Amino acid sequence: MKFDNTYFRDLVGFYAPVDAALAPDPKLVKFNHALADELGLDVTNLDLAQTFSGNIKPDGADTLAQAYAGHQFGGFSPQLGDGRALLLGEIIIPAGNRIDIQLKGSGRTPFSRNGDGKAGLGPVLREYLVAEAMHALGVPTTRALAAVTTGARVQRQTAQNGAVLTRTAASHIRVGTFQFFAARGELEKLKQLADYTINRHYPDAATAENPYIELLKRVSNAQAYLIAKWVGLGFIHGVMNTDNSTLSGETIDYGPCAFMDHYDANAVFSSIDQQGRYAYSNQPLIARWNLARLAESLIPLINDDPDTAISQATEIIDAFSAQYEFHWLTEMRRKFGFETQHSNDENLFDTFFETMNDNMVDFTLAFRALADLADGNATSLRDLYLTPTAVDDWIEQFQSRIQSEPNASQNIRAANPIYIPRNHLVEAALKAAEEDGDYAQFEQLLALITNPFTEQNGKEVYAKPPLMVDPNYKTFCGT
C-alpha cells in the first residue's frame, strides 16, 4: 500500500495519533479481492489477518482517530470522534482519486468515552454485506475491504466474537467534523477543514465567487442525490445523525439500517429510534436538517457579516427540497423505465405508492414486476397485492404511459434489483457465521446482492420476502 496521508500531515490538531489494540488471535473471514484490485493494492506479500486486525501496521500508515462532534437524534454532543475506528491512511487509486482506509473495531482511542473500542462479528458482517450491496446497486457508499475476527470476545446484549472491519471511503469527513471546530470557536481550524474538504472533494469550488457557499451547494446536491437513491431502494439508514452524514455524499456507518420488504412510508427498524425521527420517508427532511447544521458551522467563513452569511446559506438550504425533488424524479423515471419526460409522471409515481399503502406489497418485487407489466403481463404485479383490484386503475395509466417507451421492460430490469440484503436473509447469514462459524450463507447472499440485477435459477428464495412478517423486527446499533 502506497500511503499519502494528507489528513495526518496537513490537519495536525484534528485527530489523535493512536495505535490499534493487539488482537490475540486474528483470523481473516473475508477479503474483497475485487475491491483491492480497484484500489490498486498488491496484497500478495501481506499477512491479511495481521494487517487488517491492526496487529501489523503497514509501511507508510499513520494511524489516527479523527475528532468530530454531532447531533445525535437532535441533541448536540460536542465531542464524539472515532471511538472504535482508526484511519490507516490514504492511497491514490489507479482511477486517480484519493481513498481512506480505515479499521473499525480496532480498540480504544481518546474518543472512546465509555466504549470498549471494539466491534462484534455480526455487525461487521452486516456492514460488509450492506455496503457491498449498496455499491452494486449504484449508491455512493463506503466499501468493505476486509473482515477479520480478533480472537477476543466483546460484550454487547450477549457476548460476541470480536471483529475488525476494514472499510474504504472517499473520506471520513462528516458534518460533525465541522461542528466540532465550529462549536469550539476554532475559526482557523474550521477554515483549514473547509479548504481541505474543497480541495479533496470539490476542487473547482475553490475558484467560485464564494467557495464556502459553493461547498455547501455541492454537499447539498450530493446529499439530495444520495437520499433519492436510498428512497428508490426502500433503504432506511436508521441513524442519520450529523456525525453519520458525509461531505463526500457517501453513505456511511451502517448500523441499524434496513431495506423494507413491504412498502411502508413510515418504516422504522432501529431499536433506538423510538420517535421515528429517521423513518423511511423522513430521510429527505433529515438530510436537509443536517445540511442546515453544516451551514451554521460555515457561517463565519461565508461572510464577515453574520446576517449576510445567514441569508446566503439559507438560500442554499431552502433550495434543497427542489434539488431532492429533481433527483427523486430522475431516479423514479429510471426505475419506471422511462426515457422521456411527461408532465404527469410525478403524479403517476405518487399514485403507484398510494396503491401500495395497506396492501403489504413487497417494494423490491413491485418494481421488478413493472417489467412484466411493460411486457403486457399484469399478473406478477397484481399478485403482490392483498387486494389486487387496488392497482387496476393505475395499471391502465401505466400501460398508456409506456406507449411512448419502447424499451421500458428492459430498462426496468436493468434499474431494479431482484436481490437485496433482506433483513431475514442477513440475520440468518449472520447467525450461522456467529454461532457456527459457517459462512456459506454469508457467501451466497454476498454473491447474489453484489450482482443484484441478474435473476439466477434456483435462487428464488433469496428474491422473496420472509414467509412470516415480523411486525416487531428491530435492528441494533453497536458495531
Q: Which residues are catalytic?
A: 243
Report the residue from 132, 253, 261, 405 that binds Mg ion according to the rule CB under 5 A: 253
Beta-bridge mates of residue 75: 72
Q: Are 103 and 127 in contact (CB under 8 A)?
A: no
408 Cβ contact list (under 8 Å, min separation 6)? 336, 337, 338, 370, 371, 374, 402
Q: In this structure, how many other beta carbons lie within 10 angstroms of the beta carbon of residue 60?
A: 13
Helix, strand, coil in percent for the chain, rounding step 5: 45, 15, 40
Nearest Cα to Cα of residue 250 among 374, 97, 391, 116: 97
- The smaller minimum CB distance to Mg ion, of residues 51 and 244, is found at 244
Q: How far is CA 151 from the centre of its chain?
A: 28
| Smallest distance, ligand AMP to C-beta of residue 97, A | 24
Secondary structure element (H or E) that encloses residue 3, with its range? none
| Smallest distance, ligand AMP to C-beta of residue 162, A | 10
Report the residue from 63, 150, 161, 244 that binds Mg ion according to the rule CB under 5 A: 244
- The smaller minimum CB distance to Mg ion, of residues 253 and 434, is found at 253
Q: In this structure, how many other beta carbons lie within 10 angstroms of the beta carbon of residue 6?
A: 14
Site for Mg ion contains 177 (CB under 5 A): no
| Smallest distance, ligand AMP to C-beta of residue 63, A | 15
- The smaller minimum CB distance to Mg ion, of residues 253 and 331, is found at 253
User: Could you tell which of Mg ion, ligand AMP, none binds residue 255, using a CB distance below 5 to 8 A set by kind?
Assistant: ligand AMP
Q: Which long-range contacts (CB under 8 A, 24 or more apart) does 326-334 make?
A: 326/224, 327/224, 327/225, 327/227, 327/228, 327/229, 328/228, 328/231, 328/232, 328/284, 330/228, 331/228, 331/229, 331/231, 331/232, 332/232, 334/232, 334/411, 334/415
| Smallest distance, ligand AMP to C-beta of residue 115, A | 2
| Rg value, the chain, Cα | 23
- Using CB positions, name the residue nearest to Mg ion: 253
Binding pattern to ligand AMP, positions 30-69, x when CB under 6 A? ----------------------------------------
- Residues between 220 and 279 that touch ligand AMP (CB under 6 A): 239, 243-244, 253, 255
| Smallest distance, ligand AMP to C-beta of residue 192, A | 22
**# binding residues, ligand AMP (CB under 6 A):** 17
Site for ligand AMP contains 6 (CB under 6 A): no
In the complex, the residues that contact Mg ion under the rule CB under 5 A are 244, 253
Tell me which residues touch ligand AMP (CB under 6 A). Answer: 80-84, 111-112, 115-118, 239, 243-244, 253, 255, 477
